[in-house]
Amino acid sequence: MVSCHDTIVVLDFGSQYTQLIARRIRESHVHSVVLPSSASLETIQANRPKGIILSGGPASVTSVGRPEWSKAIMKEGLPILGICYGMQLMAQSMGGRVGRAKRREFGRAELLVQDGSDLFRGLARKSPFSVWMSHGDRIEKMPPGFKPIARTSNSPIAAMKSVNGRNRLYGLQFHPEVAHTTYGARILKNFVRHICGARPTWTMGSFLHDSIDRIRRQVGGEKVFCALSGGVDSTVAAAMTHRAIGKQLTCVFIDNGVMRKHEVKQLKQAFRSFHFNCRMVDASGQFLRALGRTTDPEKKRRIIGRQFIRAFDREALKIGNVRYLVQGTLYPDVIESVSHKGPSVTIKSHHNVGGLPARMKLRLIEPLRELFKDEVRVLGKELGLPDDVVHRHPFPGPGLAIRILGVVTPARADMLREADAVFIDELKAQGLYRKTWQAFAVLLPVRTVGVMGDQRTYEHVIGLRAVTSVDGMTADWAPLPQPFLAHVANRIINEVQGVNRVVYDISSKPPSTIEWE
Ligand code: XMP
């Protein structure tokens, strides 16, 4: 579909930052499309780009079989910006020389701007400023017709531009898209707005409008299914789809018996108020029976995943003829699922229904695939979802089962639920909930000695975990105020039967993970 917005095409050479480029362009209110670097000339042209960005990538332009692109588009005289690998590729194809740098350069460097006229418009006086480098190759000889426009101590050609010829070509050796590059967003904005002249018409509202339109055309009159977890991602994806196709969408919420206190009731109310056609399935007995006396974290995950698919399958059969499945997959999930870390530590909510699409021959609708979590929250607001849904902390598919260390029993689940509810209620009451990315209690599989009244006790330990993070891939423990922690610990020990000790987790990720199992 050709967009009604002025569009920047980003060609992806495999950098983990490619979607960040798209995100920065969105922040300038300009529409962008990410295409694989192998996209054909026709595909690129079909998007009627106002400019093109060549992303970075892990390959070396000096190696055989390096990824290439449809260079013929250059005949159209569009502005082109090459970033890192993209810059080197451009330099080499225009007659420059690229070689292995004597010293590979990773991390911060100070950039000195030499030409503040267009790409660095408004930035000459601010230089030197920090930029983020990540490269092993560098340009040894500039292509004819180019001049350097910025340098660092290690890279004499940290940025370049063409000075003659029809095209306006630019190259950056560093990554303007990452937060560590101080004026990176400004550099990209200069490119898309001033050099390409793209009009700033993109907003979350326009994204919503376009996505709804796309879902309608994709689905036609078919039936669509959505597994709601109550988390922000699946709820926003469902709300968008619901707005697009109304009653053709059936949502299923499966109560696995290891949800938080009052959560099922609250979600029931929320889904009703959104007017979703939602089936609430109580499968708690079945899940708890299947968990039995399992203690191994990975086994717990697998058991819950299997039970989930079984319960979901049953619902799908009841409805019949379902063709599509809506998933709230986000961009970091896409990146994680192709990472080399292995599924157990990288698993995300959408993986909990991972087996379903192939098995049920369902086609996927993933309207949030390009977005980051904070963008999804903005979208949720745009859709009119209430704050407590939009700002809800992430919650893992296997629920409290992976926060009850050891055997999961209804009694242990209740104990954890009570302690967790005290912690979360207090975070909300003290205005700390939205300052943390995720917070929860865990029940440890040990008992310790205490004294209550004049009695010796031998009871359970609750661990409190609160982290700050951007995307859950890395995280730091949240330095919650000491009086707050003291108050929460006091309440838990006094109010939750069976608990006589509370500890606070001060580990970051890595080397720990956010969850304890
Ligand atoms: P970790 O513990 O790996 O968690 O640092 C990172 C984020 O992912 C969530 N998480 C899961 N989500 N199914 C999910 O849906 C899972 O099996 C799972 N394991 C971890 C975790 O809560 C955190 O937000």
For 132-145, letters b (16+ CB in 10 Å) and e give bbbbebbbeebbee
Q: Is the Cβ atom of 397 under 6 angstroms away from ligand 1?
A: yes
- Look-up: residue for tokens 């070396």? 60
Last residue of a domain, which of 161, 195, 229?
195
pLDDT above 90: residue 485:
yes
Read off the DSSP letter of residue 401. Answer: G
Q: Do 160 and 234 lie in a common domain?
A: no
305, two tokens:
């995943």
Last residue of a domain, which of 166, 195, 224?
195
Tell me the mean pLDDT in the region 461-488. 93
Q: Is 82 exposed, middle or buried (0-12, 13-18, 19+ CB in 10 A)?
A: buried
Poorest-pLDDT segment among 312-326, 351-365, 370-384: 351-365
Q: Whose CA is nearest to atom 8 of ligand 1?
A: 348
* Residue 397 domain-assigned (yes or no): no
Q: Do 424 and 361 lie in a common domain?
A: no
pLDDT above 70: residue 344:
no
Question: Model confidence over 91-138: pLDDT tens digits?
Answer: 999 999 998 877 777 788 999 999 999 999 999 999 999 999 987 888
Q: Is the Cβ atom of 403 under 6 angstroms away from ligand 1?
A: no
* Domain count along the chain: 3
**Looking at 5, 29, 31, 84, which residue is catalytic?**
84
* Residue 510 domain-assigned (yes or no): no
Q: Do 369 and 261 lie in a common domain?
A: yes
Tell me the mean pLDDT in the region 286-294. 97
Q: Choose which residue among 336, 347, 471 to substitute to test ligand 1 binding: the one with the highest number of ligand atoms within 8 A of its C-beta.
A: 347
pLDDT, position 336: 52
CATH code of residue 99: 3.40.50.880
Tell me the mean pLDDT in the region 305-334. 88
Q: What spacing in Å lies between the alpha carbon of 219 and ligand 1's midpoint?
A: 31
- Beta carbons within 10 angstroms of residue 457's beta carbon: 17
Structural domain boundaries enclosing 161: 7-195
Tell me the mean pLDDT in the region 235-255. 96
CATH code of residue 220: 3.40.50.620
pLDDT, position 350: 40
CA atoms within 13 A on the CB side of 260: 23
Euclidean distance between CA atoms 261 and 271, whole angstroms = 17
Q: Is the Cβ atom of 305 under 6 angstroms away from ligand 1?
A: no
pLDDT above 50: residue 186:
yes
Tell me the mean pLDDT in the region 316-332. 88
Q: What spacing in Å lies between the alpha carbon of 167 and ligand 1's midpoint?
A: 47
* Residue 279 domain-assigned (yes or no): yes
* Residue 516 domain-assigned (yes or no): no
Q: Do 176 and 244 lie in a common domain?
A: no
> What dihedral do alpha carbons 282, 286, 289, 294 form, nearest 10°?
-90
Beta bridge partners of 255: 282
CATH code of residue 500: 3.30.300.10
If DSSP codes are grouped into helix, strand and coil, which group holds residue 416?
A: helix
pLDDT above 60: residue 508:
yes
Q: How confident is the model at residue 9 (pLDDT cuts 50, 70, 90)?
A: very high
Tell me the mean pLDDT in the region 399-410. 97
pLDDT, position 216: 97
* Residue 396 domain-assigned (yes or no): no
pLDDT, position 354: 58
**Looking at 5, 31, 105, 177, which residue is catalytic?**
177
Question: Model confidence over 198-221: pLDDT tens digits?
Answer: 999 999 999 999 999 999 999 999
Q: Do 184 and 239 lie in a common domain?
A: no
Q: Choose which residue among 348, 351, 402, 468 to substitute to test ligand 1 binding: the one with the highest number of ligand atoms within 8 A of its C-beta.
A: 348
Counting from 1 in the atom list of ligand 1, the atom nearest the Cα of 475 is: 5
Q: What spacing in Å lies between the alpha carbon of 17 and ligand 1's midpoint?
A: 22
Question: Model confidence over 361-371: pLDDT tens digits?
Answer: 789 999 998 89
Average pLDDT along the chain: 91
If DSSP codes are grouped into helix, strand and coil, which group holds residue 23?
A: helix
If DSSP codes are grouped into helix, strand and coil, which group holds residue 53?
A: strand
- Beta carbons within 10 angstroms of residue 450's beta carbon: 15
Tell me the mean pLDDT in the region 345-356. 47
Tell me the mean pLDDT in the region 370-382. 92
Counting from 1 in the atom list of ligand 1, the atom nearest the Cα of 349 is: 15
Q: Can 84 be counted among the known catalytic residues?
A: yes
Q: Can 418 be counted among the known catalytic residues?
A: no
Question: Model confidence over 161-175: pLDDT tens digits?
Answer: 999 877 899 999 999
pLDDT, position 464: 98
Q: Do 155 and 182 lie in a common domain?
A: yes
Q: Do 123 and 45 lie in a common domain?
A: yes
Q: What spacing in Å lies between the alpha carbon of 329 and ligand 1's midpoint?
A: 14
Q: What spacing in Å lies between the alpha carbon of 516 and ligand 1's midpoint?
A: 10
* Residue 511 domain-assigned (yes or no): no
Euclidean distance between CA atoms 90 and 53, whole angstroms = 11
Q: Do 191 and 208 lie in a common domain?
A: no
pLDDT, position 353: 57
Q: Choose which residue among 337, 515, 516, 517 to substitute to test ligand 1 binding: the one with the highest number of ligand atoms within 8 A of its C-beta.
A: 515
* Residue 395 domain-assigned (yes or no): no
Q: Whose CA is nearest to atom 18 of ligand 1?
A: 396
pLDDT above 50: residue 322:
yes
Q: Can 4 be counted among the known catalytic residues?
A: no
pLDDT, position 348: 36
Q: Do 127 and 211 lie in a common domain?
A: no
Q: Do 133 and 249 lie in a common domain?
A: no
Q: Whose CA is nearest to atom 21 of ligand 1?
A: 396
Is 253:230 a contact under the CB 8 Å cutoff? Answer: yes
pLDDT, position 3: 75
Q: Whose CA is nearest to atom 7 of ligand 1?
A: 472
Last residue of a domain, which of 195, 227, 259?
195
- Look-up: residue for tokens 């108020």? 273
Q: What spacing in Å lies between the alpha carbon of 347 and ligand 1's midpoint?
A: 6
* Residue 45 domain-assigned (yes or no): yes
462, two tokens:
């609750």
Q: Is 239 exposed, middle or buried (0-12, 13-18, 19+ CB in 10 A)?
A: buried
Q: Do 458 and 363 lie in a common domain?
A: no
Rounded to a whole number, what is the distance in angstroms from the first to the last CA of the chain? Answer: 44
Q: Is the Cβ atom of 470 under 6 angstroms away from ligand 1?
A: no
User: One-letter amino acid identity for 430?
Assistant: Q
Tell me the mean pLDDT in the region 141-170. 92
pLDDT above 90: residue 342:
no
Poorest-pLDDT segment among 34-38, 73-77, 354-358: 354-358
Question: Model confidence over 258-280: pLDDT tens digits?
Answer: 999 999 999 999 999 999 999 99
Q: Do 170 and 219 lie in a common domain?
A: no
Is 187:150 a contact under the CB 8 Å cutoff? Answer: no
pLDDT above 80: residue 351:
no
